[in-house]
């Protein structure tokens, strides 16, 4: 159980990252690929947060006076993840708008079938 | 074939990362910078939510960049999707009465909740991004329920511009007052009061307005038939 | 505490795999939203309430909505 | 007292103001980028003398580093920001008249029969353009690795949107490819940054660099590879550049000029900053040199096979990136100076080539090289500009490409390693191929009479003027390379001397 205690979050985070990368590498449907990007982002965010965690920690908010600051978790990764979440949603929205246009042009979202340009 | 190559590639990456991960034990404090923020944050910025003080004050420049990213996405989405000026109301089937009334009732409540979240960003969990997202989901509700309504494009543009401008101008005022961009030049007040932490609540309100109007604009652009 | 985390991580991974397997894109998106929701509870367990709020509001709700709008304007089933 | 933060804050403020301003007047948007970029150019030039003496380190928010984000305006940063402002300014003057004269675009608009396209997206074009350049400026000035990621995203996302700006088939498809590869790259970059934070507990680049030796090399290696891979997508290093030819050839020509002339270079800068300053890694330099030559040969060979002029120029950019990467990985003072010089020379020449090609394509209504036959008589000035750009890129004497390539060869010879000698031989082979395809185009322009008769009209003055400035710069620097070598030498010294960088930032 000790192993799981220590690594469960890392396993979850990297599990998501690898499933996301797998979807992006293997699937042909553009919307599916964008779903993969979203999962990848979530995995990266979970990884960043787990880096900042401290065992038996509390949230870094002095909501009442006299709170123990010794066991507060690291606030920096949380700030980074707030930024990363918003950037992720921005990329997803732009990607989806491109997908809509692509569908209007080609009538399909299968990236295999869309080969206007070659090497 | 493609699957096998991809899986092999991923296994190699996983092995590499595990090498590095072994040096980053879970749950052990490892950071000097974060400790400094926890110990000095309340004194230096006046915000009791340390995450807020990091997001808006210590790493405020990141946040400026992040707001810009969302701004770019909103503009880019508009540039990719909209063709020509939109005239007249949207042509859709009206929603059922229950949905319509429910959305009409919920919308102001969601708006108030979102505003609460970003005004209290320096005291409790939450802040500009979360509040903005909540407000945007309120607009999403309006699109689902009251389908003939539409956000005024001019008002949303104005809100977007004002939010961004307030952020940058406050930063530049800091430069004017004390040679540092985003310097917290207002009095910090007593911790845990609503009117405290100097420029932090002002910036978070600006971010909330900007993020809310941008996300609502993104939804508006996506939903609109072009 | 650990069991909750274990359950959520498993739920998350199952959701991610389901998102990869489903041919119906709407189901895939809902599975992905489930991943975000589980991740947001994990953020809360990891003492990051700010991030949990942002992930729940942006990652789970808004993203899923945007996806569904986009799918309604394209094609629902993967070929 | 000039503050480098103005280079980022003022463009952002004006870009944010454009949606509100355009409620009053639709025409105002297109004049904002030139004005802002003039301002940026002036600030950069004012900063230059101070930066040459001692890097200007500015912390944001009034805290001391490493507890805040800081900007480092050293010779490298100011050099890059000046180039970004200069090229950006000239291209923005060019795009005053060239918003969407691409023939393909016009056809599509006629087909869809929808009015009002001109006004709406045109102001969006100018906002995105300005934000792209702001992102690039932020990347070169910042001293914080996560902040670098954020500005990198600004740069990337605005270029995805601009590649898709014409909304034609090719543009959307290339933007999709570019976006997917770019987004995966940035995720890898973010994982790398997270690992670094886990290892060192700080995000300040100088602070990480100071502590890099406290951790075993093998665990530092993984984040380094992830970060370089993430940045390498934008820098178009060999296995990661599949998006580039599509994206550069289907964007509007003014955007191709910026993507080729600035975006790639900023990506390269970020790779270098990470390798030289943060990791101080000399072990992978040889590998990078090899990768550079591989990139060079593949780019030049593919360019040789193209019949589409913009794709040819795009592949030629890949080749040039390879050459620059090779020169920089020699990692001697000569090598880095040569690499930076080549970078400047490529920026000026390639921007000029894309700008000239833009109007040639517009008049010929086709991107095929064969359609440009006889253009030399129809548009003499534009074709002259194109020819000068091409000669400069190949490295002919009176132009800027000559001294830069000369420096690279000298650096490789001075290193006295057989491996490098072999590689520089291959690089020269690449240059020969480059010469072959550029001369082919020049020959088509001047010495073939066109079967089809393209419209015989010169480009408008707003387009000719920036091209003329580029030509003047290329010739003047080509004749007196001393104008820039001073700055380049101190820039190379800054990149190579990481201890000075750490001392300047952390005090």
Q: Where are the domains of chain B?
A: 51-81+97-223
What confidence category does residue D104 fall into, taking pLDDT thresholds of 50, 70 and 90?
very low
Residue C39's domain spans which residues? 2-73
* Binary contact (D176, A84; C-beta < 8 A): no
Q: What is the pLDDT of residues A80-94, one digit of tens each?
A: 999 999 999 999 999
Tokens 């991809």: give the residue: B6
ipTM, two decimals, is 0.93
pLDDT, mean over chain D: 86
Given this model, what pLDDT does residue C34 score? 93
* Cα torsion through D200, D202, D203, D209, rounded to 10: -50
Q: How far is A78 from chain B (nearest CA, A)?
A: 7
Dihedral, D335, D337, D341, D347 alpha carbons, nearest 10: 90
The band of D456, judged by pLDDT with boundaries at 50, 70 and 90, is: low
Kindly tell me the sign of the dihedral angle through the C-alpha atoms of A55, A59, A64, A70.
Answer: positive
Q: Measuring CA to CA, which residue among C26, B5, D183, D182 is closest to residue A37?
A: D183
Question: Between residues 49 and 88 of chain A, which touch chain D (CB distance below 8 Å)?
Answer: 51, 76-77, 80, 83-84, 87
Q: Tell me D72's DSSP state.
A: E
For residue range D137-149, what is the model confidence (pLDDT) as tens digits?
999 999 899 999 9
Show Cβ contacts of residue D95 under 8 Å, excluding neighbours closer than 6 positions: D30, D125, D126, D129, D252, D254
Least confident of C64-68, D25-29, D126-130: D25-29
Residue D164 in contact with partner chain A when CB distance is under 8 A: yes
Residue with tokens 């100071």: D210
| Chain C positions in Cβ-Cβ contact with residue B133 (cut-off 8 Å) | 54, 57-58, 61-62
Give the C-alpha separation, A42 to A40, whole Å. Answer: 5
Count other C-beta atoms under 10 Å from residue C69's C-beta.
19
Of A53, A80, A91, the CB nearest to B26: A53
Residue closest to D430 by CA, chosen among D327, D328, D340, D334 = D327
Task: Give mean pLDDT, residues D114-129.
Answer: 64
pTM (two decimals): 0.93
* Average pLDDT rounded to a whole number, residues D287-293: 90
Chain segment D245-269, per-residue pLDDT in tens: 888 888 888 899 999 999 999 999 9
Phi, psi of D297 (to 5 degrees): -65, -45
Do residues D183 and D252 touch, judged by C-beta distance below 8 A? Answer: no
Residues of C within 8 A of B130 (CB-CB) are: 50, 53-54, 57-58
Task: Summarize the confidence of residues D442-452 as an average pLDDT.
Answer: 76
> What is residue A72's three-state secondary structure?
strand
Work out the minimum CA distance from A111 to partner chain C, whole angstroms. Answer: 11
pLDDT at site D111: 45
At A47, which CATH number?
1.10.287.3510
**Tens-level pLDDT at each residue, chain B (226 residues):** 778 888 888 888 888 888 777 777 777 777 778 888 888 877 777 788 888 888 888 888 899 999 999 999 999 998 888 755 455 555 566 778 888 888 888 888 999 998 888 888 788 888 888 899 999 988 888 888 776 666 777 888 888 888 889 988 888 888 888 778 888 777 777 777 777 777 888 888 899 999 999 998 888 888 875 4
From CA C68, how far away is CA D418, in angstroms rounded?
59
Q: What percent of chain D has pLDDT over 90?
A: 43
Residue to test with chain A: of B43, B73, B212, most A Cβ within 10 A: B73
- CA B140 to chain centroid: 16
> Could you tell me if D199 and D213 are in contact, meaning their C-beta atoms sit under 8 angstroms apart?
no
Euclidean distance between CA atoms A29 and C23, whole angstroms: 10
**Cβ contacts (< 8 Å) between C70 and chain B: which residues?**
222
Q: Residue A110 has what DSSP assignment?
A: B
- Three-state DSSP state, D330: coil
The secondary structure element, H or E, covering residue B189 is none
Predicted pLDDT of residue D314: 92
Query: How does DSSP classify residue A61?
Result: B
Does residue C78 sit within a domain? Answer: no
> Using one digit for the tens of pLDDT, what is the confidence trace for D54-97?
888 888 877 877 888 889 998 999 999 999 999 999 999 988 87
DSSP state of D71: E
Considering its fold, how many domains does chain A have in total? 1
Chain A closest-CA separation from residue B129 CA (Å): 8
Distance from CA of B224 to the nearest CA of C (A): 10
Dihedral, CA of residue D76, residue D79, residue D82 and residue D84, to nearest 10: -60
Alpha helices in D164-252 (DSSP H): 169-200, 205-211, 217-235, 244-250
Who has greater pLDDT, A52 or D116?
A52
What average pLDDT score do residues D288-293 get? 91
Q: Is A13 on the interface with D (CB under 8 A)?
A: no
Beta-bridge partners for D144: D204
CB D23 within 8 A of CB B158: yes
Q: CA-to-CA distance for C26 and C64, rounded, in angstroms?
A: 9
> What is the C-alpha separation between D79 and D68, in angstroms, rounded?
24
Q: What is the per-residue pLDDT across D379-436, written as a single tens digit (0 to 9) for each?
A: 888 899 999 999 999 988 889 999 999 999 999 888 878 888 888 999 999 999 999 9
> Does residue C13 form part of some domain?
yes
Distance separating alpha carbons of residues C29 and D449, to the nearest angstrom: 58
Taking the alpha carbons at both ends of chain D, their separation in whole angstroms is 20
Least reliable range by pLDDT among B167-176, D34-43, D471-480: B167-176
Number of domains in chain C: 1
Tell me which residue in C28, C43, C47 faces A35 most closely, judged by beta carbons.
Answer: C28
Q: Are D177 and A30 in contact (CB under 8 A)?
A: no
Q: Within a domain: residue D109?
A: no
Tell me the sheet residues that pair with A72. Answer: A58
- The CA distance from C59 to the nearest CA of chain B, in Å, is 10
Please, which residues bridge with residue A110 across strands? A29
First to last CA, chain B: 40
Q: What is the pLDDT of residue D102?
A: 44
């Amino acid at each position: 159980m000790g192993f799981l205690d220590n690594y469960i979050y890392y396993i979850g985070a990297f599990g998501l990252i690898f499933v996301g990368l797998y979807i992006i590498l293997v699937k042909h449907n553009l919307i599916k690929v964008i779903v993969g990007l979203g999962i990848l982002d979530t995995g990266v965010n979970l990884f960043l947060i787990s880096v900042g965690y401290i065992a038996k920690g509390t949230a870094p908010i002095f909501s009442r006076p006299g709170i123990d600051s010794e066991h507060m978790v690291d606030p920096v990764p949380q700030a980074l993840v707030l930024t990363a979440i918003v950037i992720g949603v921005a990329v997803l929205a732009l990607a989806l708008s491109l997908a809509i246009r692509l569908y209007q042009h080609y009538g399909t979202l299968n990236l295999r079938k869309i080969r206007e340009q070659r090497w | 074939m493609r699957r096998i190559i991809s899986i092999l590639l991923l296994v190699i990456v996983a092995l590499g990362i595990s090498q590095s991960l072994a040096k980053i034990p879970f749950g052990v404090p490892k950071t000097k910078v974060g400790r400094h923020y926890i110990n000095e944050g309340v004194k230096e910025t006046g915000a009791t939510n340390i995450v807020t003080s990091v997001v808006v004050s210590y790493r405020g420049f990141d946040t400026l960049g992040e707001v810009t990213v969302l701004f770019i996405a909103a503009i880019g989405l508009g540039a990719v999707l909209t063709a020509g000026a939109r005239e007249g109301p949207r042509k859709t089937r009206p929603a059922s009465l229950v949905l319509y009334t429910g959305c009409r009732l919920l919308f102001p409540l969601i708006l108030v909740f979102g505003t609460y979240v970003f005004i209290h960003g320096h005291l409790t969990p939450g802040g500009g991004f979360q509040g903005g997202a909540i407000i945007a989901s309120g607009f999403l509700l309006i699109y689902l329920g009251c389908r003939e309504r539409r956000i005024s494009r001019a008002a949303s543009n104005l809100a977007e511009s004002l939010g961004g401008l307030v952020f940058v101008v406050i930063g530049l005022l800091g430069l004017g007052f004390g040679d540092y961009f985003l310097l917290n030049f207002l009095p910090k007040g007593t911790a845990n009061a609503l009117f405290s932490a100097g420029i932090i609540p002002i910036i978070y309100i600006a971010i909330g307005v900007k993020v809310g109007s941008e996300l609502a604009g993104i939804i508006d652009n996506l939903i609109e038939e072009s | 505490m650990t069991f909750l985390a274990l359950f959520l991580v498993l739920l998350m991974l199952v959701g991610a795999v389901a998102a990869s397997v489903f041919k119906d894109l709407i189901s895939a998106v809902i599975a992905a939203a489930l991943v975000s929701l589980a991740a947001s509870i994990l953020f809360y367990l990891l003492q990051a309430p700010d991030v949990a709020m942002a992930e729940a509001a942006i990652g789970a709700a808004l993203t899923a909505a945007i996806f569904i709008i986009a799918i309604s304007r394209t094609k629902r089933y993967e070929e | 007292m000039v503050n480098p933060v103005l280079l980022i804050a003022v463009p952002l403020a004006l870009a944010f103001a454009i949606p509100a301003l355009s409620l009053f007047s639709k025409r105002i948007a297109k004049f904002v980028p030139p004005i802002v970029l003039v301002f940026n150019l002036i600030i950069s030039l004012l900063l230059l003398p101070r930066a040459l003496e001692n890097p200007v380190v500015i912390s944001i928010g009034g805290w001391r580093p490493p507890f805040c984000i800081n900007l480092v305006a050293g010779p490298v940063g100011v050099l890059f920001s000046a180039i970004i402002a200069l090229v950006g300014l000239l291209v923005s003057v060019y795009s005053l008249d060239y918003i969407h004269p691409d023939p393909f675009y016009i056809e599509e608009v006629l087909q869809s029969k929808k009015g009002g396209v001109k006004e709406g997206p045109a102001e969006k074009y100018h906002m995105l353009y300005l934000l792209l350049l702001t992102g690039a400026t932020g990347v070169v000035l910042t001293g914080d690795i996560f902040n670098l990621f954020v500005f990198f995203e600004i740069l990337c996302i605005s270029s995805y949107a601009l590649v898709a700006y014409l909304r034609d088939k090719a543009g959307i498809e290339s933007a999709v490819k570019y976006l997917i590869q770019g987004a995966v790259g940035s995720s890898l970059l973010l994982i790398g940054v997270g690992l670094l934070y886990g290892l060192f507990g700080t995000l300040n680049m100088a602070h990480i660099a100071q502590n890099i030796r406290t951790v075993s090399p093998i665990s530092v290696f993984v984040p380094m590879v992830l970060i370089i891979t993430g940045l390498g997508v934008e820098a178009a290093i060999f296995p990661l550049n599949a998006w580039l030819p599509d994206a550069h050839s289907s964007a509007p020509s003014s955007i191709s000029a910026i993507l080729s002339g600035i975006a790639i270079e900023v990506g390269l800068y970020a790779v270098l900053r990470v390798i030289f300053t943060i990791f101080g890694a000399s072990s992978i330099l040889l590998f990078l040199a090899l990768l550079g030559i591989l990139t060079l040969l593949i780019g030049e060979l593919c360019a040789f096979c193209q019949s589409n002029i913009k794709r040819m120029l795009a592949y030629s950019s890949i080749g040039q990136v390879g050459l620059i990467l090779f020169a920089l990985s020699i990692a001697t003072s000569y090598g880095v100076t040569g690499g930076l010089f080549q970078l400047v020379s490529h920026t000026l020449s390639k921007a000029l080539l894309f700008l000239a090609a833009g109007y040639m394509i517009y008049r010929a209504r086709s991107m095929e090289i064969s359609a440009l036959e006889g253009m030399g008589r129809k548009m003499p000035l534009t074709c002259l500009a194109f020819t000068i750009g091409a000669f400069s890129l190949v490295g002919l004497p009176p132009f800027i490409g000559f001294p830069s390539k000369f420096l690279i060869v000298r650096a490789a010879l001075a290193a006295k390693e057989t491996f490098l000698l072999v590689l520089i031989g291959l690089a020269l082979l690449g240059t020969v191929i480059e010469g072959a395809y550029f001369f082919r185009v020049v020959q088509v322009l001047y010495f073939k009479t066109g079967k089809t008769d393209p419209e015989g009209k010169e480009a408008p003055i707003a387009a000719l003027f920036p091209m003329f400035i580029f030509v003047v710069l290329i010739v003047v620097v080509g004749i007196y390379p001393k104008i820039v070598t001073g700055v380049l030498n101190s820039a190379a010294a800054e990149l190579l001397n990481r201890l000075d960088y750490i001392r300047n930032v952390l005090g």
